[in-house]
Structure 1
Amino acid sequence: MKLYLTIALLILVATVNAQNQFQQFINYVTSLPDPTSKQTAVDSFIVYARTQGIPFITGDSASFIYRGNVSSISIAGDFNGWTPNWNMTNLSGTNFWYYSKVFESDARLDYKFVRNGTDWILDPENPRQVSGGFGPNSELAMPEYIQPWEINYRSNIPHGTIVNKTIYSINVGAYYQLRIYLPPGYDSTSAERYPTVYFQDGFEYITLGSAVNVIDNLIDSNKINPVIAVFVRPNNRNEEYAGSVRVQYRLFFVNELVPYIDASFKTIPSADKRLVLGDSFGGNISALISYNHPEVFGYCGLHSGAFWPNNYEAYNLVINGPVKNIKWCSVWGTYEGSLPANMRNFRDFLLQNNYQLSWEERHEGHSWGLWRATIDNMLIFFSPFEPNSIESGDMGLLNKFYLDLNYPNPFNPTTKIRFAVPQNEKRETRNVTLKVYDVSGNEVATLVNEEKPAGTYEVEFNAPQLSSGIYFYKLTAGNNSATRKMILLK
C-alpha cells in the first residue's frame, strides 16, 4: 500500500501543470481515506519537494512547508514587516503545515517560522540562509532572482590587505575602530593614488555584506578601478547616525577622519574621488555628510536610506536646499514599508534637478541580503574600470574581455554601454556585435556589428520607441560573449 501511494503521488506531481502542482497535492492528500495513507503521501511529497527546493515554488507561487507536531506555526519576514501573522494551515490527519503566497518572479526575501507563538526558528527544510543584524534568516529566492556571485571568496584571484587602526575624535570625544582595505599591489612608496570609499556600519559591511570579497572580485574582473576602502565602526549608531551626536559625528568624519586617511594612505584627495555610503540610518548620516560637505564627498550611496529621523531632516535638507555637486546612488526594496515611497520621491526630485543618479528598486526587504548584493552597483557607479594604458601596450589589459553595466540603469530613454575587446594572437581585428533583446529573446536593436581592433569602447543606446521593461544586451567578440540586464523605465 505504501509503495502504491508513493508511486501514485510521484506520478501526480510529475504530470500536473506546474502552476497547480502544490494544490493538486493538497487535494490528493485530502481525498485519502485514513491518516496512515495521508502521512505516507506527505512523506513522499517531502522527498520530492527537497529535490525541487523548499519553499516549494510553482509558477509565481511559493509554498512554505513545515512538518512537525505543533499546535500552531506562523511565518514572519520581510513580506509582513516581521509580524508573525501568516498562519500556516494544517493538512488534516497529518503533521504537515503549509502556507502559499504569490510573489514577483525575481523576489528575494528573508523569513523565519514561529512555532507555538513564541519559538522563532529557521526553516528546517531550507538550506539557504542570509546573515542579518539579528542572526541568520531563511531565504526565499524566486526563480528569476540572480544570486550575487561577487560576494563569494575566490582563492585564485589577488586579494587586498586589511589594516586595523584606531582614531580618537575630538568632536565626539570617543575612539573609533577602523579597518582599511588596501587593494592588491598597493605600494606606499609608489606614486599611484586611489579613490576612497567610506562605509558606515563598516564592520557589518565586511561580516554581513561581504564587502571585501565584493571589492576584490570587482577589481579582478575589471568592473572597477582599484580603491581604498575605509570601514568605520560606530560606537552608538542610533545617536551618531540619527540622534543627538549626528552633528559631532559628521564633523568627525570630514574634519578628522578624512584628513587622517589622506595623510596615512595613497588616496586621491579630491571630492570626486570620495564616496560615503551606508545602510538604513547609515544612509541618513551619509546624506547629511555629503550634502553639508560636497567639497569633501562628491558621491553618496544610500542602501535603503532611512530618512525619517528628526522630522526627515536629511530628506528636507536636500529637497529644499540648493542643488550641489553630488552624485547619488540609491538602492531600496519594495518590501520596506513606507520607505519605498520616500525613496521614489527622493529619486524623482534628484532627476528633475539634474543630479547624476543611479538607482534600483528590487523586490526585497530591509536586509543585508539586499545590501550585500548591490554594493557593486555603488562601486561601479563611483569608480568604473577605466583602462588607461591600452594605447601604451599593456598586455594584461589588451587580453581582457569585459562588458560593463550600462549607465544609467534604469534609464529613460538613453543609456551608455562600455566594453573592451581583447587582442588576439595575430593582433588582428575581429568581428564584434552588441545586440539588445527583450525578455522573450527577440532582438530589438543592433548597436555594433563590425570589425574592431583591441581596445575599449562606449556606445549609446537610445530607446524612445520601446516600452518600459527588462532588456538584455549581449556582446560577442570572437569566442568571447557576455550578457547583462538593463531596465527601461518611462
Structure 2
Amino acid sequence: MKNLLRQILAVFVVLIFLNQVLDAQKDFGFKPAASNIQGSDFPKISLDNSVYVRLMAREAMKVQVQGGDGLCPKPMDLVKDTAGNWNAIIPSAGPGFHYYWFIVDGVRVNDPGSDTYHGYGRPTSGIEIPVAGEDFFHAKNVPHGDVREHWYYSDITGRWRRAFVYTPPDYDKNPKKKYPVLYLLHGAGENERGWSLQGHMSFILDNLIAEKKAVPMIVVMDNGYATAKNAAAATSGFSMRDMTKMAETLEQVYIKEIIPNIDLSYRTIPKRESRAMAGLSMGGMQTMLIGMNHLELFSWYGFFSGAILGGIMDDPKNAFNGAFADAKAFNEKVKLMWFGAGSGETQFVKMVDDTKKKLADLGIKSTSYISQGTFHEWHTWRRHLNEFAPLLFNR
C-alpha cells in the first residue's frame, strides 16, 4: 500500500512539473537555442533567458544539470516525465556563452542537443544566451578576415604545436602591407580554438576594423600548454606550481619559436611597438609572467580576468627583475597596461583593484574595465577584447 501511494505521489509531482513547464513555455516564449545542433528542440531559452533543458534517459535513477558561473554553478535536479525525459528549467541565465553538462547517476555527460567546445579540460556542451542590445560579437555584412590553422614543430617541447592566426580583411589584397600583431592567450581547461569559437574573436575584430575603431592587425592564438621535452606532464587540476612551470616553458616557446615563426610566415611589423600580448584567466597570468620579463618584445598588455596569483605581485618593485622599479622608463616603454574583470567574478575584480593600486603606488600607469552582469565566462572576455583592441597600435 505504501509503495502504491509513493508511486501515485511521484506521478502527481511529475504532472505538476510538466504543467508548470507547459505554462512557462507558453507564457515566456521558450524557443530552441541558436547554439543547438540542427534539428534539436532542446535546450530552449525563454524571453527572460531561463533555460529549459531535457535529456532522454529512461533507465536513469537521477539526473542533474550543472554549468558555468553565470548559468548553473551548482548541480540542479531534473524531474523525469512518463516518457523517460528528464526536465528542468534553469532560471535567468547570464548573457552570452556558457558551458554546461548533465550528471546521470553520477556520470558527467554532454547534451546531445548542443554542440561541444573544449572547456573544463574536455569537449563540453555549450549554449549561447542572447544579449539584448549587443551585437559587436556577431557576424555582420562587413569585410571578413580569415582564421588560419598554423602548425609548427617545437624543439623545446618535442611536439608539433598548433596556433590559429587571424589575418585582417585586406591581408591578401595588399601583399606589400605589414601589420602589428596581438598574441592572444586562452584560459585553463581550454585550448587555442577558444578565442575563435567561443570568443568570436574574428567577428569582434572584423566589426571594429570595419567601423574604423581598431587598427587592422594579425592575431595569434597559440596553445597555452607547454611542457619541456622529456619533462613530466602537469598533474590534473593545474596547480599554481604547474601553471608557473608551464609559463616558464611557454616563455621559451614564445621567444625562440612562435614569435620568430610568425614573423617569418606572415607580413608582420617585427618591432616591440607593434606587438601586444593579452590573455584571459590563466592566459592573463601567462601574459604577466612572460610579458613583464620581456619588455623588449611587447609594448601593449591586456589582462582579462588575469589570474594574478601565487604572490607574483607581493613585492611589485622587485618583481620581474625590477621591471616596475623605474616608473618613468616603464611608462615610456609600455604603451598600455589594461586590466579587466566581470562584475560577478568578485575575486578577479579584487585582483584588478589590488594590482592597479600597487602599480599606481609605484607611479605605473594602467587602466581598467569591469563588465557589468557577467562572470568568469566568455561574454566577459568578448567585452574585454572589444574594449581593448581599439586601444592598440594607435600611438
TM-score, length basis structure 1 = 0.55
Amino acid at match of 1:328: M
Deviation at 1:283, TM superposition (A): 1.5
Answering whether residue 32 of structure 2 is matched by residue 51 of structure 1, we say no
Relative to structure 1, the CA distance from residue 40 to residue 319 in structure 2 (aligned partners, 3 Å threshold; closer, same or farther) is same
Partner Cα separation in structure 2 for residue 345 and residue 357 of structure 1: 13
Answering whether residue 271 of structure 2 is matched by residue 270 of structure 1, we say yes
Name the counterpart of 2:98.
Answer: 110
CA contact (8 A) 2:45 2:129 kept: yes
Partner Cα separation in structure 1 for residue 90 and residue 194 of structure 2: 33
Name the counterpart of 1:153.
Answer: 139
Counterpart pick for 2:208 among 211, 218, 233? 218
CA contact (8 A) 1:195 1:273 kept: yes
Name the counterpart of 1:137.
Answer: 126
Relative to structure 1, the CA distance from residue 75 to residue 291 in structure 2 (aligned partners, 3 Å threshold; closer, same or farther) is same
Name the counterpart of 2:221.
Answer: 231
Partner Cα separation in structure 2 for residue 52 and residue 374 of structure 1: 30
Answering whether residue 338 of structure 2 is matched by residue 329 of structure 1, we say yes
Name the counterpart of 2:3.
Answer: none
Superposed, 1:170-249 pairs within 5 Å as 170-186=155-171, 192-201=177-186, 202-234=192-224, 236=226, 242-249=243-250
1:388-417 deviation line (CA, Å, top 9, x unaligned): xxxxxxxxxxxxxxxxxxxxxxxxxxxxxx
Amino acid at match of 2:135: W
Name the counterpart of 2:308.
Answer: 307
Counterpart pick for 1:372 among 372, 382, 386? 382
Relative to structure 1, the CA distance from residue 346 to residue 41 in structure 2 (aligned partners, 3 Å threshold; closer, same or farther) is same
CA contact (8 A) 1:65 1:96 kept: no
Identify, as 1 or 2, the structure richer in strand.
1
Partner Cα separation in structure 2 for residue 118 and residue 348 of structure 1: 45
Answering whether residue 392 of structure 2 is matched by residue 382 of structure 1, we say yes
Relative to structure 1, the CA distance from residue 279 to residue 96 in structure 2 (aligned partners, 3 Å threshold; closer, same or farther) is closer
CA contact (8 A) 1:87 1:99 kept: no
Deviation at 1:89, TM superposition (A): 9.1
Relative to structure 1, the CA distance from residue 81 to residue 185 in structure 2 (aligned partners, 3 Å threshold; closer, same or farther) is closer
Answering whether residue 367 of structure 2 is matched by residue 357 of structure 1, we say yes
Q: In structure 1, list runs of 5 or more residues that go unmatched.
A: 1-33, 387-490
Name the counterpart of 2:280.
Answer: 279
1:150-185 deviation line (CA, Å, top 9, x unaligned): 33334x432223444433444444443233332222
1:358-404 deviation line (CA, Å, top 9, x unaligned): 322443232234323432222122246x9xxxxxxxxxxxxxxxxxx
Partner Cα separation in structure 1 for residue 337 and residue 295 of structure 2: 12
User: The residue matched to 1:150 in structure 2 has which SS?
Assistant: coil
Partner Cα separation in structure 1 for residue 277 and residue 215 of structure 2: 17
Partner Cα separation in structure 1 for residue 95 and residue 246 of structure 2: 37
CA contact (8 A) 1:76 1:86 kept: yes
Partner Cα separation in structure 2 for residue 340 and residue 183 of structure 1: 32
CA contact (8 A) 1:112 1:120 kept: no
User: The residue matched to 1:312 in structure 2 has which SS?
Assistant: coil
Deviation at 1:114, TM superposition (A): 4.6
Compare CA radii of gyration and give the structure with the larger one: 1
Deviation at 1:197, TM superposition (A): 0.8
Deviation at 1:196, TM superposition (A): 0.9
User: The residue matched to 2:311 in structure 1 has which SS?
Assistant: helix
User: The residue matched to 2:245 in structure 1 has which SS?
Assistant: coil
Relative to structure 1, the CA distance from residue 160 to residue 89 in structure 2 (aligned partners, 3 Å threshold; closer, same or farther) is closer
CA contact (8 A) 2:179 2:218 kept: yes
Deviation at 1:55, TM superposition (A): 6.2
User: The residue matched to 1:278 in structure 2 has which SS?
Assistant: strand
Amino acid at match of 1:110: H
Across the aligned residues of Structure 1 and Structure 2, the Cα RMSD in angstroms comes to 4.4
User: The residue matched to 2:152 in structure 1 has which SS?
Assistant: strand
Partner Cα separation in structure 2 for residue 107 and residue 164 of structure 1: 29
Deviation at 1:295, TM superposition (A): 1.9
Deviation at 1:285, TM superposition (A): 1.1
Relative to structure 1, the CA distance from residue 316 to residue 216 in structure 2 (aligned partners, 3 Å threshold; closer, same or farther) is same
Partner Cα separation in structure 2 for residue 258 and residue 281 of structure 1: 20
Alignment length (residue pairs): 335
Deviation at 1:63, TM superposition (A): 6.2
Partner Cα separation in structure 2 for residue 116 and residue 350 of structure 1: 48
User: The residue matched to 2:290 in structure 1 has which SS?
Assistant: helix
Partner Cα separation in structure 2 for residue 120 and residue 268 of structure 1: 47
CA contact (8 A) 2:275 2:298 kept: yes
1:396-451 deviation line (CA, Å, top 9, x unaligned): xxxxxxxxxxxxxxxxxxxxxxxxxxxxxxxxxxxxxxxxxxxxxxxxxxxxxxxx
Partner Cα separation in structure 2 for residue 248 and residue 358 of structure 1: 29
Name the counterpart of 1:484.
Answer: none
Relative to structure 1, the CA distance from residue 102 to residue 169 in structure 2 (aligned partners, 3 Å threshold; closer, same or farther) is closer
Superposed, 1:120-135 pairs within 5 Å as 131=117, 133=119, 134-135=123-124
User: The residue matched to 2:29 in structure 1 has which SS?
Assistant: helix
Deviation at 1:44, TM superposition (A): 4.5
Counterpart pick for 2:354 among 326, 338, 345? 345
Q: In structure 2, list runs of 5 or more residues that go unmatched.
A: 1-11, 32-43, 187-191, 228-232, 235-240
1:230-272 deviation line (CA, Å, top 9, x unaligned): 2223454895982434323213313443233334433223323
